[in-house]
Amino acid sequence: MAINYTYFNYEIIRNYDRCINCRVCERQCSNEVHRFDEEHNIMVSDETKCVNCQRCVTLCPTRALKIVKTNNEFRENANWSGKAIYKIYRQATSGGVLLSSMGNPEPYPIYFDKMLLNASQVTNPSIDPLREPMETKVFLGAKPTEIKRDKDGKLINNLSPHLKLEVPMMFSAMSYGSISYNAHKSLAMAAKSLGIYYNTGEGGLHEDFYKYGANTIVQVASGRFGVHKQFLDSGAAIEIKIGQGAKPGIGGHLPGTKIMGDVSKTRMIPEGSDAISPAPHHDIYSIEDLRQLVYSLKTATNFKKPVIIKIAAVHNISAICSGIARSGADIIAIDGFRGGTGAAPTRIRDNVGIPIELALASVDQRLRDEGIRDNVSLVVAGSIRNSADVVKAIALGADAVYIGTAALLALGCHLCRDCQSGKCNWGIATQDPELVKRLNPEIGYKRLINLINAWQHEIKEMIGGMGINSIESLRGNRLMLRGIGLTQKELDILGIKHAGE
Amino acid sequence: MTKYIIIGNSTAAIGAIEGIRSLDTTSPITLFSSENHHTYSRPLISYLLENKTTLEKMKYRDDNFYELNNVTVVYEKIVKINSDKKQVYTEANKEFSYDKLLVATGSRPFVPPTKGLDSVKKYFTFMSLDDALDLEKVANSTSKVLIIGAGLIGLKCAECLQNKVNKITVIDLADRILSSILDKDASEFMQKHLEKNGINFILSQAVTSFNGNVAQIGDKNVEFDILVMAVGVRAQTELIRDIGGTVNRGIYVDTKMQTSIADIYSAGDCTEIYDISCDKVRPLPLLPNAYIGGNCAGINMAGGEMVFDNAIPMNSIGLFGLHIITAGSYIGDIKEIQVPNGYKKLFYQDNYLKGYIVVGEIERAGIYTSLIRNKTPLDSIDFDLIAVNPTLIAFEKKVRKTKLGGKV
Amino acid sequence: MKRVYVNEEWCLGCHLCEYYCTFANSNMTNMAELRNMIIRPNIRVEENNKISFAVSCRHCTDPLCVKSCLTNALSKKDGVISIDKDKCIGCFTCIVSCPYGAISVSANDIAQKCELCTNNSNTSPLCVQKCPNGAIVYEER
């Protein structure tokens, strides 16, 4: 091609007073950016290939490197930003659909950051989590509406199967194929150690991880990859994936180059073939069909496992959830528009779906209004970034949250958003054994445990500060939230008052 | 209680003491030293003359070694053994009895009888500490030195005198220097390096006669102020030979370091042992072999069980900054590897590495030595890879795990 | 006794252990001083065909190097094998003997090897502390 319309995004600044030519940047960059020039005895960098994954910066023993956004700029234009212009150039060059990885990076409002938490002052004193017991345990599943006794007065067990979580957080669905074996292993080991769950995503369950089955949620997605009887039996719960926050309305896509070896075997598709999940489940065309699938799965697993329905947060979310809550599902997982992905069409990721905060509030309210809130537990996802987001989500009505991006960050991800290349320098979004090696599960799982433990402690501090000593008392407790800088409409949908009221 | 007597005060003797004391901490050990010095490291005498070490640092073990190990040292030479009575006799005819005896008498310089040698006022050998100290006294900036013998000893002597004297000439009957340890190519490489450092060589010739301070070599006359005889060494085997023990070029010992006479062991430069690289019994006078042999003898003398069954010749020598490492025997097929500023040849036969010569890039040569000593079948490793660079990655994964995955 | 072990499974061949080792055994306070130096680490990375691992002194229970040392510079104390720099004259008989190739030539032309950072200001081996992927461990086996 004659003219290269796209300028590179990043510049690599190397402090030559500090650089000792140790070449670790060269050895560790899968994009071949750095190179040692023997003749001139100096490191040289080709910034056109840099994706800003920060691997070289992190490993450099003398802190000689930094990556900055290039300040080569177009003329200022509030409407046609540089980003917008480049995307036109790319499409004019390739003729293809733009693909992106990870969650929506555009500056839409973040409602979590516009809600404030309460704390106790004079009346209803705070509770100190270091001195008094605090309960962060939650149970996910349908709650019975009444206590039933037999003719002798003994309690009849009318409980449906539940998931027990030591803390109200689980690891989100990320498929084996989009992330690596070692990443899955880290998540599985951490889930087991923490007493929570991780989700297989739509790539099936690798046979080496069956031993973590008691802490695994197995996902049945529209492509039904890797779904067989043993798969269903091995997990603690089954999740039917209708949609995903990052790409509502379309299916998944894993390119054939990533379908090799164990990935192919686990998904039960031939090596090299693209794994395309269709947009709908071709056996679910109505809510009645959904109910049928839910009961098929329950029958197949002897009614021993809760069934989760995962949907993306879209416009009529509350009506949809109302239908799902009557379909026999035990848990509804709602994925907001900030949710991450291995690869999705950019325009869908950035323009489709609604914020999880608003979706959650309206679903919780609707189910309560219809008297069916106890039919299901609600799990939310879509950019839960810290423990305050968790507390706010629960206050809005969630029973628990799923974290995806946060978990990957704990494992080393630097959100360079180049996952679709398969050259993840941190060993997460890659199947190349040389790169997968870089994520040592013995290190990874400890970091995940550290993160969850830290958040658990923070949650205890925050709810203790409110004078609450269990998650149960926080759930749906909208009075603990106040909005700030929100319109009346937003306050109404969230069901919270404005700060000061 | 066992009475131990050790004849000798160098490496093999020390090895034996440490071997005995590892099993028997109470029985008396008496050591006889013909040299009037604390045990010292003989190879260091040339470094002493170069001021790279001191008399103090040359000691092979600390001053309190004998005391800590409960060894009585007698600075007298033993001249006779009576194996029936189990007694040894000093020059003054004092007798000492033993239960177990170690002969570690080492070797002495061999001076070939040359016409006119008696007309030379004084010649030096370069073997003991006293030899070195004597030489140091006379060497000065006008001296012209003639060294007979271009082997390890002769060249080390040349190296340490080089910046003290006026001129050095080394003569050898062989057609190349270091003929006992290097092949022709490696010799040439080393010779060029030494000549660049000011050493002159006369090869394939011998001194036909001496006349005062002139040596007649072929049709040339070479003047000298200092004459050093470094032709070779002879194992000091008399003590055993005189009582009918098996002696060839050295005192014969089996893999337990036992001589052919009951309760008498031997180790070090005075012995000949089985060389596994060429399957022959011969003297292997190297310090590591002396220590290991002495140690092995000591353990067996004290009632333990140990064998020394993987002895090979090994050498590590540096001359004017150029290092050479050799080991084993140069038999079989040859693999020559091109190395910059150096030289490398591996010798192999019947699927085993038999020997090697490395000049210059000596790093990690011990990996080659272990292939010879352990008789590692070459088809079980990546021989082509290891020939270029001695590495452990040339071994199979499960072998690597044994070598590196646990305590060794 | 704890020793340094390298798990081949996790070694990335990044060579950082070599640089940190050289730094640990130098008198430098700032690693940037390693610029323009040929490093001489006591731990060395071997790599071939997608396998890599680092090798350092095994601190053998029956050390061949100590037995071969001409000057008694090499000795074993509390299990750790170390070199007395004053006594070593650089004959390299130890290099001929070591079956792991763990001893190398120092900048001063004498022998050097891993001494488990007992001979410098680090409280535990620096290569273990700095390995980015937990491939190098310091444990008893």
The answer to whether B316 contacts C95, with C-beta atoms less than 8 Å apart, is: yes
Average pLDDT value for chain A: 94
Subunits touching C (CB < 8 Å, at least 3 pairs)? A, B
Q: pLDDT tens across A95-122, in order?
A: 999 999 999 999 999 999 999 999 998 8
Of A96, A122, A137, which residue sits at a domain end?
A96
Instruction: Examine residue A33 and state whether it is found in any structural domain, yes or no.
Output: yes
Q: A417: buried, middle or exposed (CB in 10 Å: 19+, 13-18, 0-12)?
A: middle
Across the interface, whether the CB atoms of C72 and B60 are under 8 A apart is answered yes
Are residues A75 and A173 part of one domain? Answer: no
CA distance A262 to A270: 11
Distance CA B135, CA B242 (A): 33
Average pLDDT for A408-412:
97
Domains C1-56+119-141 and C60-113 share a fold: yes
> Among all residues of chain C, which has the CA nearest to that of A18?
C32
pLDDT at A260: 85
Q: Closest by alpha carbon to A490, among A389, A396, A402, A368?
A: A396
Q: Which residue matches tokens 């501090």? A: A461
Considering only A248-252, A406-410, B285-289, which range has the smallest mean pLDDT? A248-252
Q: Which of C58, C70, C104 sits opposite B41 (nearest CB)?
A: C70
Q: What is the CATH number of the domain that holds A301?
A: 3.20.20.70
CA A319/CA A325 separation, integer angstroms: 10
Residue A482 has pLDDT above 60, yes or no: yes
Task: Tell me what pLDDT residue A236 has.
Answer: 97
Residues 6+ apart with CB under 8 A from A88: none
Searching chain A, which residue's CA lies closest to the CA of residue C37? A20
Q: Is C137 on the interface with A (CB under 8 A)?
A: no
Q: How far apart are CA A448 and CA B301, in angstroms?
A: 61
Does residue A253 share a domain with residue A343?
Answer: yes
Whether residue C120 is predicted with pLDDT greater than 60 in this model: the reply is yes
The residue out of A63, A96, A129 marking a domain boundary is: A96
CB distance from A24 to chain C under 8 Å? Answer: yes
Q: Are residues A266 and A356 in the same domain?
A: yes
pTM above 0.80, yes or no: yes
Do A300 and A417 have their domain in common?
yes
Residues from chain B contacting residue C91 (CB–CB below 8 Å) = 43, 316-318
- Alpha-carbon distance values, B242 to B237, B246, B266, B386 (Å): 8, 10, 15, 48
Distance from CA of C79 to the nearest CA of B (A): 11
How would DSSP label each residue in B50-116?
Answer: TTSS-TTTTBSS-TTHHHHTTEEEE-S-EEEEETTTTEEEETT--EEE-SEEEE---EEEE----BT
Q: Does residue A250 lie in a domain region?
A: yes
Looking at the fold, whether A333 and A452 belong to one and the same domain comes out as yes
Domain of residue A48, CATH code: 3.30.70.20
The question of ipTM being above 0.90 is answered as yes
Contacts of B97 (CB under 8 A, 6+ apart): B3, B85, B86, B87
Using a threshold of 3 CB pairs under 8 A, tell whether chains A and B touch: no
Element containing residue C45 per DSSP (H, E): strand C44-48
pLDDT of residue A444: 97
C32 close contact with A: CB closer than 8 A = yes
Q: Which residues contact C10 (CB under 8 A, 6 or more apart)?
A: A437, A440, C133, C134, C135
Euclidean distance between CA atoms A46 and A66, whole angstroms: 14
Determine, yes or no, domain membership for A342.
yes
Query: Residue A1 above 60 pLDDT?
Result: no
Please check whether residue A22 touches C, CB under 8 A. Answer: yes
With an 8 Å Cβ cutoff, is C33 touching chain B?
no
Q: By CB neighbour count within 10 A (0-12 exposed, 13-18 middle, 19+ buried), where does A368 fall?
A: middle
The answer to whether C70 and C59 are in contact (CB under 8 A) is no
CB contact under 8 A, B323 and C3: no
- Residue A112 resides in a domain: no
Per-residue pLDDT in tens (0 to 9) along chain B, 408 residues: 899 999 999 999 999 999 999 999 999 999 999 999 999 999 999 889 888 899 999 999 999 999 999 999 999 999 999 999 999 999 999 999 999 999 999 999 999 899 999 999 889 999 999 999 999 999 999 999 999 999 999 999 999 999 899 999 999 999 999 999 999 999 999 999 999 999 999 999 999 999 989 999 988 999 999 999 999 999 999 999 999 999 999 999 999 999 999 999 999 999 999 999 999 999 999 999 999 999 999 999 999 999 999 999 999 989 999 999 999 999 999 999 999 888 899 999 999 999 999 999 899 999 999 999 999 999 999 999 999 999 999 999 999 999 999 999
DSSP A215: G
CA distance B106 to C32: 52
DSSP assignment string, A223-291: T-TT--HHHHHHSSEEEEE---TTSTTS--EE-GGG--HHHHHHHTS-TT--EE--SS-TT-SSHHHHH
**Structure confidence at residue A475 (pLDDT):** 96
pLDDT (0 to 100) of residue B161: 92
Instruction: Let me know if residue A498 belongs to a domain.
Output: no
Classify domain C60-113 by CATH number: 3.30.70.20
pLDDT tens column, B278-294? 999 999 999 999 999 99
Which chain B residue shows the shortest CA-CA distance from C85? B57
Over 90: is that where the pLDDT of A30 sits?
Answer: yes
Q: Which chain A residues have a beta carbon less than 8 Å from that of C20?
A: 61
CA A79 to chain centre: 31
Q: Determine whether the interchain pair B400/C100 forms a contact, defined as Cβ–Cβ distance below 8 Å.
A: no
The nearest CA of chain C is from the CA of A64 a distance in Å of 9
Q: Which of A22, A41, A440 sits opposite C19 (nearest CB)?
A: A22
Quick one: closest CA in C to A25, which residue? C14
Strand partners, A219: A239
CB A166, CB A354: distance < 8 Å: no
Tell me the per-residue pLDDT of C51-86, one tens digit each, with 9 for 90 and over.
Answer: 999 999 999 999 999 999 999 999 999 999 999 999
- Touch test C–A: 3 Cβ pairs or more under 8 Å: yes
Q: Which chain A residue's Cα is nearest to C20?
A: A61
Distance from CA of A31 to the nearest CA of C (A): 15
CB of C118 within 8 Å of a chain B CB? The answer is no
Question: Is beta strand B226-229 parallel, antiparallel or unpaired with respect to B78-82?
Answer: unpaired
Q: How many domains does chain A have?
A: 2
| Chain B contact probe: residue of C49, C89, C136 with most B CBs at under 10 A | C89
C54 touching B (Cβ < 8 Å): no
Q: Which of residues 44-83 of C touch A (CB under 8 A)?
A: 50
Name every chain B residue with its beta carbon within 8 A of the beta carbon of C70.
41, 43-44, 287
Q: For chain B, positions 282-341, list CB contacts with chain C under 8 A.
A: 287-288, 291-292, 295, 314-318, 321, 323, 325, 327
Nearest alpha-carbon partner for B317 in B327, B309, B304, B302: B327
State the average pLDDT for chain C: 95
Going from the C-alpha of A68 to that of each of A19, A46, A65, A437, C26, the distances in angstroms are 18, 14, 10, 28, 33
Residue A496 belongs to a domain: no
Q: Please give the distance of CA B197 from its chain centroid, rounded to a whole number.
A: 25
Q: Is the pLDDT of residue A6 over 80?
A: no
Measure in Å the smallest separation between the Cα of C98 and chain A Cα atoms.
27
Looking at chain B, the whole-number percentage of residues with pLDDT higher than 90 is 89
pLDDT for the residue B288: 94
Which sign does the torsion angle of CA A162, A167, A168, A171 carry? Answer: negative
CA distance C109 to chain B (A): 8
Q: Under an 8 A CB cutoff, do C98 and B385 touch? A: no
CB contacts of C32 in chain A (<8 Å) are 17-20, 62, 64
Domain that holds residue A81: 10-96
In chain B, residues with a C-beta closer than 8 Å to the C-beta of C87 are 53, 57
Whether C70 sits inside 8 A of B58 (CB atoms) is no
- pLDDT score recorded for residue B297: 97
Q: In this structure, is residue A474 part of a structural domain?
A: no
Residue A391 lies in a domain: yes
Tell me what pLDDT residue A258 has: 81
* Domain layout of chain C by residue ranges: 1-56+119-141, 60-113
Asked whether C123 and C24 are in contact (CB, 8 A), the reply is no
Tokens of C113: 């090897």
Q: Based on the domain organization, do A48 and A174 belong to the same domain?
A: no
- Chain B contact set for C138 (CB, 8 A): none
Claim to verify: residue A229 and residue A358 sit in the same structural domain? yes
Q: Which of B44, B57, B392 sits opposite C100 (nearest CB)?
A: B392
For the C1-56+119-141 domain, the top CATH level (class) is: alpha beta
Q: Is A44 helix (H, G, I), strand (E, B) or coil?
A: strand
Q: End of a domain among A96, A120, A145?
A: A96
